[in-house]
Structure formats: C-alpha cells, structure tokens
Structure 1
Amino acid sequence: MPTPIITLTTDFGKKDHFAAAVKGAIYSELENAMVVDVSHDVSPFNIQEAAYIIQNAYKSFPAGSIHIIGIDAELTPENRHIALKMDGHYFVCANNGIISMISSAFVAEKMVEINIHNTMQTSFTVLDVFVKVACHIARGGTLDVIGKPAGTIKELTTIQPAVSNDGSQIIGNVIYIDNYGNVVTNITKKLFEDIGKTRAFEISVRNHRFTKIYNNYSDFVNFDIPANERQVDGSGLIVFNSASFLEVAIYKSNPQTVGGASSLYALDYRDTITINFN
C-alpha cells in the first residue's frame, strides 16, 4: 500500500527556510513520503485566502491524503491544534476557524485535539508537532494516539454576499487575488443564477461596467477576426472561474508588466463588486 500524500499550505513564502525545513523534517520521519506543496504564498495570517486555496485543491488528491495547514498555527489557549478526518481526507491545523471555511457541507468523521506537545521541545509548531502527526497518520496510526476527542470546530463567518430585499442587486466582496492578478469574489455561479433568473444585468467594478460573463477566458476572443486585428490583450472581462466563483480578470494579464485586474481596477481583499439586475 503506497504512503499517503502529505500536502503543505502555509504563509511561509519562498525566501526563508521554513518550508524547506518542514519538508526535510517529513522526509527524516518518513523517507518514502510523497510531499506536495499546495502553496507557501498565502498572505500572512489570511485564513480566508488559505481556505479558498485548500477547498479548491484538496478534492483533486486521492482519498486518505493528509493536508498540513500552517496558517496562524501558533499554539495558544485560544488556538488549539487539531487533527481530523473529513470527506475522506485528513487535516492537521490550528482550530482557528479555517476548517469551517473550507467546508460547511461535511461533518468531521473523527476529530482530536492534539496533545503530544509535552513530548517535544518546540518553537516551530508546523515543523515539529504537525509533521509528527502527519507522519503518524501516514504510517497508518490512529488519531486517538496523538490526541483526545475534540468538541467542536471553531466557526468563522465568511464574508457573505448581500442580496437586496427585492432581489435586484447582489453586493459581493473580493476574497482572493490569484497569481495573474485576477480578482475572485464570493459571488458563486449558483447565487448569480438563483437571484438573476436569466435577467439582464450590469456588473460594477469601480467605475467600469460589464454586461456579460464568460465561462472561459478564451470565450472573450472573436476568433473570426484576424489575430493582428483583435486587440484583446489587456482588456477587462468577467468570468465564472473553475471553482464557479465570479472573477474579474484581464485577458492575458501580467502583474509584473501590464498589470492585473487587482492593480488596474484598484481592488483588494474585501473590496466590493456590485451586480444590478434589470
């Protein structure tokens, strides 16, 4: 039976040694481990951003995979450590609300509060405690050995879109900005369709207006026009992304050169996007 995959999602970045040290510790514990970096570029302590990344990544991994989440993970009386099995996957993280943001649809099959801290000297929780727990699970160990039954998952209320009483307007918020500078909102395709009911609409992004939503970035291009006459690069568009969230994008954007939707429309985390239905 192959060793389960261990994934890493942290806000450590790439400059420092932290991410490499965690991977080294895993390989020292479990030589044949399969370690996958989901992301180390989560904005510091941004639980909402981390939850968006993890909820859209973990389902692509095989059942039984173990996901270490190193976001706001320092142990305190108000920030205990947990290990749980949910939706066929294992998660090792702080009980800081991130699990409630990853999924409200699943109930933990088993959850424990990790209690092995006294067995080791540590000032680096993810390196020491989370690695020990993940490798224990990967070897086939049970959760009961590394913790005591935990009560409840801490609930954090995510930013929710606001719908007007008459159903004529949705006000959403930016929840994530990707590597291309594309701006992801908390407005889902389902919400848009449930409220919009096929009505005409106008999406307001700062002082820009959009009246069409694309399902793919390339749908924005009219391929009947010769390539040298299209002039679409750098144009703004609205799409439902692969996770079915409304996204403000720039066609073939590059934040390092021409800019992305975040910079060109001056949008940041929690900023608002408005949809008005006619």
Structure 2
Amino acid sequence: MPIITLTTDFGLKDHFVSAVKGAIHSELDQITIVDISHDISPFHITEAAYILKNAYKSFPKGTIHIIGIDSELSPENKHIAVLLDDHYFICANNGLISLIASEYRPEKTVEINIHDAIGTNFPVLDVFVTVACHIARGGTLEVIGKTITDLKMIKGITPIVNVGDKQIVASILYIDNYGNLITNVTRKFFEDVGKGRNFKIMARTAVFEHIYEQYSDAINFDIEKSKREEDGKKLAIFNSSGYLELAIYKSNPRTVGGASSLFGLHYQDTVSIIFEEEDV
C-alpha cells in the first residue's frame, strides 16, 4: 500500500490538513497517510528541511512526501516533484530539500506543469495531491512535468571554516521543542576539521569544552541527587540526527527556559568552535 506523508505549516486549527487528507482519500481507495508535522513555523523553509531530512529515512523507499511550506505558485516559486534517495518529494522549488540534496544527488526532477488543467489558489490541496496520487498509482514524473536540473539551495546551511582550520563559524539551523539549539555542524564535519584537537564552543557567554554522547552523560550520578548539578546544566551533544546541539538538561521553555532563551541565541545566530593549535 502506498504511503503519502504530509509536512506543512498549516497548524491544526483550520480545515487545511483535513481537506488535503480528504482529497487524497477521494482519489485513492488504498492509501496510508502519515503526518510528519503541521507545526512548522510559517514559511520557515530551513525548519521544514531539517525536520523532513530526519523523518523521511524512516519510511519505506517509494514513499511520497507532500510538503506544504511557502507553496504558492509564482514566477520565482515553481512547483517541482523530485525523486531523491528513492523517495518522492512534491514541493515548491524554494530550497526545501537542500539538506537532503546536499547528501544525495536527485535521480530525477521535474517542474510541474499541470496547473492549467487545475485552477486553484490552494496548490497543496489540488496540484500536490493530484501529483502524489498519480505517483502512487505508478505514474511517471515525465507525465506531470518537464525535466529540470536547477534545484534552489538554502544559503547558510554549510558552516564556514577559517584559514588553517582553526575555527568553525557555525549557525543555528533549528530550535527544537525543548529550546535546544541545533547547529549546522555535523559530527563528520566537526571531526574532519578538528582532527581530535581540543576545542572551545563559544555561544555568546556560554562556553563548552566537551561534547557528550547522550544528555545524561553530563550528570554525575555518583553524587547525591540533592547536591549534584542537574537542573539548568548546560551541555553540548551530537544529537540523534548527527548534528552538534547545545542544550540544557531536561529543559522546558515554558517554565525554566531552554538553551535558546538562556543563551540568547536564535535561528541563524552564529556559534564559534575554536580549535587549539597542534603541538609542533
């Protein structure tokens, strides 16, 4: 049975998500629809890209992903369908799949050209659903669009390395539900540049000199609970997605605050990683 996923910034208050699901069920008798997220910040392409990158790989190959973020058709915002890493992605050509395309070369990309046959001001409901159902029935991409090679890429998703590999200038790529700060530095990138050298991570006034494997590693459980440093403990970790994350142990942005509020850092703010000079 085909699987179609939905990733949007629609939220759940309005009718949009249910209308899209109803349209899919009206076209296909046998289909599984999975919500990845409908809580993407409005028009936040990078946030959607990060969430999608870390979700899609858990689905079977051949899954069809509808992405409703900044999807209104315009001369600068064309609609595309992409076969990438054996998954199908239907979205606007606005950089949304940059993080995935930075690791895998698209197998096929078409610019969707069926709009004249579908008058609409809600492209996710009409155009994207039509394309997804066409693919789910076994249809080819060439039928719904012309082949293109130009995929827009999001700027700033790659960290900068200063001369001599002495410093990585990173930026905040995503802030999760706990207020944790996910940078654009992957474990592989960090290790390739750092080559095992000692380092300092500078996030405004917060300094980190160690990266933990898991959150609880930052807590010394040999100390009696009432005396150990636990609440508000800052830490750096390579998260389950392989990105360098700056966090507060068991944070809650709604009460005690999270890394974003406590460190005063937000989306696209910079973080410096300084490596010590190697002994000669």
Provide TM-score, normalisation by structure 1.
0.94
1:181 deviation in Å? 0.6
Could you tell me which runs of 5 or more consecutive residues in structure 2 were left unpaired when the two chains were aligned: none
Structure 2 CA distance for aligned equivalents of residues 159 and 149 of structure 1: 26
Question: In the alignment, what sits opposite 1:218?
Answer: 216
Residue type matched to 2:188 in 1? K
Change (3 A) 1:197 1:149: closer
Matched positions, count: 276
Residue type matched to 1:25 in 2? A
Secondary structure class of the residue paired with 2:171: strand
Structure 1 CA distance for aligned equivalents of residues 153 and 171 of structure 2: 20
Provide TM-score, normalisation by structure 2.
0.93
Quick check: 1:126 aligned with 2:120?
A: no
1:6-38 per-position Cα deviation (integer Å, ceiling 9, x unaligned): 111111122222222212221222233211111
Structure 1 CA distance for aligned equivalents of residues 170 and 49 of structure 2: 18
Moved over 6 A (4+): none
Structure 1 CA distance for aligned equivalents of residues 235 and 163 of structure 2: 28
Structure 2 CA distance for aligned equivalents of residues 204 and 214 of structure 1: 16
Aligned with 1:38 (options 32, 36, 39): 36
Quick check: 1:146 aligned with 2:144?
A: yes
Structure 2 CA distance for aligned equivalents of residues 135 and 143 of structure 1: 12
- 38-47 or 158-167, which deviates more: 158-167
Residue type matched to 1:32 in 2? Q
Question: In the alignment, what sits opposite 1:168?
Answer: 166
Question: In the alignment, what sits opposite 1:155?
Answer: 153
Question: In the alignment, what sits opposite 1:12?
Answer: 10
Question: In the alignment, what sits opposite 1:266?
Answer: 264
- 51-60 or 141-150, which deviates more: 141-150
Q: Percent identity among equivalent residues?
A: 62
Mapping 1:94-243, distance limit 5 Å: 94-243=92-241
Could you tell me which runs of 5 or more consecutive residues in structure 1 were left unpaired when the two chains were aligned: none
Question: In the alignment, what sits opposite 1:275?
Answer: 273
Question: In the alignment, what sits opposite 1:54?
Answer: 52
1:76 deviation in Å? 1.0
Root-mean-square deviation (Å): 1.6
Residue type matched to 2:49 in 1? A
Secondary structure class of the residue paired with 2:183: strand
Secondary structure class of the residue paired with 1:219: helix
Structure 1 CA distance for aligned equivalents of residues 29 and 22 of structure 2: 10
Question: In the alignment, what sits opposite 1:24?
Answer: 22
1:142 deviation in Å? 1.7
1:119-154 per-position Cα deviation (integer Å, ceiling 9, x unaligned): 222110101110111111112222222222234223
1:259 deviation in Å? 0.9
Change (3 A) 1:255 1:131: same
Residue type matched to 1:154 in 2? K
Contact 1:48 1:158 in 2 (8 A): no
